[in-house]
Amino acid sequence: MWNYSKKVIDHFLHPRNVGEIENPDGLGEVGSLACGDMLRLTFTLDENGRIKDAKFKTFGCASAIASSSALTEMIKGKTLEEAEKITNRDIAEFLGGLPEEKMHCSVMGREALEAAIDNARGESNGKPHQLEGRVVCKCFGVTEDVIREAIRINNLTTVEEITHFTKAGGGCTLCHDELKKMLEEERGIAAEAKEKEVTVETKAMTNVEKVHRVEELLKNRIAPALAQDGGGVELVDVDKNVVYVRLKGACASCPASERTMRQFIEKELQKEVTQSIRVEEMV
């Protein structure tokens, strides 16, 4: 018997927002009946771009139903930018916690939300972006990329945790040795990145040095990457740890420009300049 919180039990016995919205602005569908879990999330936006209503249909256990119900409550009233910041751990915490063995249910909710947001932005057909890679767990069809991503995002440290979050290794266990190897590799990469981060943080930089470093990164690394998709970026100003930029070309009118700012430009500068740096767009 799983040790469910009162809130999980409540959302399982009295799920909110069950059903499907006709002609939704956003649709996300993840999982499969073959794997035992499936979730279809739909939502509509109001005139201000906030999520007005959200509904779900799910096939799965009590945790899957509760996680889906909680997710619909959490995203109502939020903009797409605010909603996409919700993590699987946020869903679990909203429910007062989930058994570790059921954390994959919150992951399924996060994946459905991401697919629905991409769909609302016209970037997908409602299916999650498929991570490529060879299948490591043949019992549940889990790929190497999915496993490595789960390790990194959730800071997993054991094979058991990998199973809880992805189901990999939960069948015949033949892949356990390979899962252990991936854990060691990813933990080594994380330790190296942390060491680099500390080095960057502790190195004293004058404001002039900071400006030159930002200019160099924008020109030689970030701008060329954006140019591949017809976009661009130019530096406007640097005020302490705030970098003001102007997006150009396709990036200027792209619905996903905010994600580009946060997930690419800002992260690249944080890695090479300082973790406390922020990027703001100038129109």
pLDDT, one tens digit per residue, over 242-251 is: 999 999 888 8
At residue 15, the pLDDT reads 95
- pLDDT-wise least confident of 12-16, 43-47, 104-108: 104-108
Q: Higher-confidence residue: 215 or 100?
A: 215
Q: How far is CA 197 from CA 70, 267, 276, in A?
A: 35, 12, 11
Task: Give the mean model confidence (pLDDT) for residues 59-72.
Answer: 92
| Residue 105 annotated as catalytic | yes
Q: Based on the domain organization, do 214 and 195 belong to the same domain?
A: no
Q: Based on the domain organization, do 154 and 218 belong to the same domain?
A: no
In the set 105, 137, 251, 254, the catalytic residue is 105
Residue 248: give the domain boundaries.
207-281
Q: How far is CA 175 from CA 102, 132, 159, 230, 273, in A?
A: 20, 18, 10, 42, 39
Give the CATH number for residue 22.
Answer: 3.90.1010.10
Q: Based on the domain organization, do 112 and 92 belong to the same domain?
A: yes
Q: What percent of the chain has pLDDT over 90?
A: 36
Confidence of residue 104 (pLDDT cuts 50, 70, 90): confident
Q: Based on the domain organization, do 165 and 226 belong to the same domain?
A: no
Residue 128 lies in a domain: no
At residue 102, the pLDDT reads 85
Confidence of residue 166 (pLDDT cuts 50, 70, 90): confident
Task: Give the mean model confidence (pLDDT) for residues 124-133.
Answer: 62
At residue 176, the pLDDT reads 92
Task: Give the mean model confidence (pLDDT) for residues 178-206.
Answer: 71
Element (H, E) at 37: strand 37-45
Q: Based on the domain organization, do 148 and 194 belong to the same domain?
A: yes
* Lookup: tokens for 13: 């016995």
* Average pLDDT for the chain: 85
**CB contact at 8 A, 109 and 88:** yes
* Lookup: tokens for 242: 């705030």
Report whether pLDDT(265) > 50.
Answer: yes
The total domain count for the chain is: 3
Q: Higher-confidence residue: 171 or 12?
A: 12
Provide the greatest CA pair distance for the chain. 61
Residue 71 lies in a domain: yes
Give the CATH number for residue 242.
Answer: 3.30.300.130
| Residue 35 annotated as catalytic | yes
